[in-house]
Amino acid sequence: AGDGDCGHTHARAARAIQEWVRARPPPSAPAQLLSALADLLLEKMGGSSGVLYGLFLTAAARPLHNRNDLPTWADAMDAGIEAMQRYGGAAPGDRTMLDSLWAAAQALHALRSPGADLLQVLATAVQSAEAAAEATRHMEAGAGRASYISSAQLLQPDPGAVAAAAVLKAVLEGLRS
């Protein structure tokens, strides 16, 4: 979706993460892992996506400093989204990556229920993110790069929303394997 820039940016991030993991074992503590990923993406990913993911991961790490239970992961997602909204200026419905992340976060709230099954909740979150990404196809762009383009030319889903859903799906697949 889009002009290819978003895909190149995400591919650059994926290569940087692969190199990082090959060079040293990533931190095992969730807060340190997310903070290290934030630093890596800020340095290597580039573009507004790199900044937004860096903000998201930095904020998401904070709730995980003292706790690592499932409800805290839902809190971490909410904290990341709040940071993206505050610093990025977008809101759900603006046709950005935030649409996918927000939809996933709503599904992840189920992690706050006693006995929640992580993989089942995450699978639902991925489905929600993918549906939200597809729904951006019919949205008016209120923020981000697409807001500078005539809506008549926006025929594909938002590239950032598609990419964010793909990242969440990769996390799910990684946890399953």
pLDDT tens-digit series, residues 95-154: 889 999 999 999 999 999 999 999 999 999 999 999 999 998 876 655 555 544 555 455
Residue 25, both tokens: 């074992």
Domain region containing 154: 5-176
Model confidence pLDDT, tens digit, residues 5-18: 788 899 999 999 99
Please enumerate in sequence order all residues whose Cβ is within 8 A of that of 153, keeping only pairs 6 or more positions apart, or say none.
Answer: none
Taking phi first (over 0 means left), then psi (-120 to 50 degrees means alpha), and beta for anything else, what does residue 4 get?
A: left
d(CA 128, CA 47) in angstroms, rounded, equals 26
- Over residues 72-89, the pLDDT tens digits come to 999 999 999 999 999 988
Contact status, residue 109 vs residue 152, Cβ threshold 8 Å: no
CA distances to 45, 54, 125, 137, 174 from 75, rounded to whole Å, are 25, 17, 14, 29, 21
Determine the longest span between alpha carbons in the chain, in angstroms.
48
pLDDT value of position 89: 86
Distance CA 149, CA 103 (A): 24
Measured distance CA(37)–CA(15) in Å, rounded:
13
More confident residue, 4 or 60: 60
Q: How much is the pLDDT for 148? A: 45
Q: Structure tokens of 44?
A: 């290597």
pLDDT at 143 (0 to 100): 52
| Domain CATH number, residue 89 | 1.25.40.340
How much is the pLDDT for 159?
A: 86
What pLDDT score does 158 carry?
Answer: 86
Do residues 45 and 69 make contact, with C-beta atoms less than 8 angstroms apart? no
Give the count of domains, the chain.
1
Higher pLDDT, 143 or 57: 57
Instruction: Note the pLDDT of residue 18.
Output: 95
pLDDT digits (tens, 9 = 90+) for 157-177: 888 899 999 999 999 999 999
pTM over 0.85: yes
Lookup result for tokens 């709230």: 109
Cβ atoms of 145 and 136 within 8 Å: the answer is no
